[in-house]
């Protein structure tokens, strides 16, 4: 599934209805029926998935890395205008909000040209565990595996919060055999061989992928799962079913057809408070 050299995001020719857009943004729970990622995470660094979780615009559009080398990509509550030409607005929780460490110098510069979905392969349990899971993963990736940062570019939790992870202009890392150069890596918290996939998580993943598609001119036809490039069940059967069926790509295309996405970085004390609220179960 190689991306065309100069392709743009994939498009549907059908006009997107307001009802369909509202359904995408709403809380319609999908009962996923069909979830392990060989990219190692701190929750289970050696053995892969476990049964139990560890303790644990345009002027506002993201436009690439900041001057400090961090990505410029934040809590849920993305909104869609009734106008079919209006961009969907969403927030990206910046790195400081979830207490990320600084990225280390180095890494491989790249230009993302395809969209790839991963999962943590560890049962999330309560969504309040999510921010700490990202911190655990970053510590493990830096301290044990020697990587410059957490392996992925954007993270999504069960409730659809979108987290700023690695600078998208630096290639990700993997403990499996595929070359991540060119891959925009979206990391979904949970073990989707064991857990259902929430509609909020699917919406967050669609927003993240739509942002990457419009920013880096990535064709949505490149959307794939980790298992498509390596010997792994990642991103889990339940989540992969939304990729293989075309459902997730359809969601991404609808966002793009309706005007794209305005992914705004959410930083500072209010963002810190938003993450604290997630961890408190609010």
Dump pLDDT digits (tens) for 70-95.
444 434 444 333 344 578 999 999 99
The verdict on residue 213 lying in a domain is yes
Q: CA 50 to CA 107: how far, in whole Å?
A: 30
What's the whole-number mean pLDDT along residues 53-72? 36
Dump pLDDT digits (tens) for 209-242.
999 999 999 999 999 999 999 999 999 999 999 9
- Beta strands across the sheet bearing 224-225: 224-225, 114-119, 183-188, 154-156, 162-164, 88-93, 261-266
What's the whole-number mean pLDDT along residues 26-42? 39
pLDDT at 170 (0 to 100) = 98
Write out the residue range of the structural domain in which residue 167 sits: 112-126+151-187+208-260
Instruction: Give the domain CATH number at 171.
Output: 3.40.80.10
Strands (E), 38-165: 88-93, 114-119, 154-156, 162-164
Asked if 80 contacts 259 with a C-beta cutoff of 8 angstroms, the reply is no
pLDDT at 86 (0 to 100) = 79
Kindly report the pTM of this predicted structure: 0.74
User: Pick the residue with more confidence: 40 or 148?
Assistant: 148
Q: What is the percentage of the chain residues whose pLDDT exceeds 90?
A: 68
- 40 confidence band (pLDDT: 50, 70, 90): low
Dump pLDDT digits (tens) for 190-201.
999 999 999 999
The verdict on residue 238 lying in a domain is yes
Q: How many domains does the chain have?
A: 1
The verdict on residue 11 lying in a domain is no
The verdict on residue 120 lying in a domain is yes
What lies within 8 Å, CB to CB, of 167 at 6+ separation is 65, 69, 70, 71, 103, 107, 149, 153
The verdict on residue 118 lying in a domain is yes
Q: CA 269 to CA 267: how far, in whole Å?
A: 7
């Amino acid at each position: 599934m190689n991306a065309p050299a100069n392709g743009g995001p994939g498009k549907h020719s059908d006009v997107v209805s307001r009802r369909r857009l509202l359904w995408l943004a709403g809380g319609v729970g999908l009962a996923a029926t069909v979830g392990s990622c060989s990219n190692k995470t701190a929750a289970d660094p050696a053995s892969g998935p476990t049964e139990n979780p560890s303790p644990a615009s345009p002027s506002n559009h993201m436009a690439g890395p900041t001057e400090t080398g961090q990505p410029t990509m934040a809590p849920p509550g993305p909104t869609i205008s009734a106008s079919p030409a209006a961009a969907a607005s969403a927030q990206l929780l910046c790195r400081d909000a979830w207490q990320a460490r600084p990225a280390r110098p180095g890494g491989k510069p790249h230009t993302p040209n395809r969209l790839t979905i991963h999962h943590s392969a560890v049962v999330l349990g309560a969504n309040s565990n999510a921010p700490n899971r990202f911190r655990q993963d970053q510590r493990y990736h830096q301290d044990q595996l020697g990587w410059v940062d957490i392996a992925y570019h954007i993270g999504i939790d069960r409730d659809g919060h979108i987290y700023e992870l690695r600078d998208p202009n630096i290639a990700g890392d993997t403990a499996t055999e595929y070359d991540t150069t060119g891959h925009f890596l979206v990391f979904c918290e949970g073990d989707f061989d064991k857990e259902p996939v929430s509609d909020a998580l699917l919406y967050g993943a669609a927003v993240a992928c739509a942002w990457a598609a419009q920013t880096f001119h990535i064709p949505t036809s490149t959307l794939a799962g980790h298992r498509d490039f390596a010997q792994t069940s990642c991103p889990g059967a339940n989540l992969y079913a939304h990729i293989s069926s075309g459902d997730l790509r359809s969601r991404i295309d609808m966002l793009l057809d309706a005007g794209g996405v305005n992914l705004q970085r959410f930083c500072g004390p209010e963002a810190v408070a938003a993450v604290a609220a997630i961890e408190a179960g609010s």
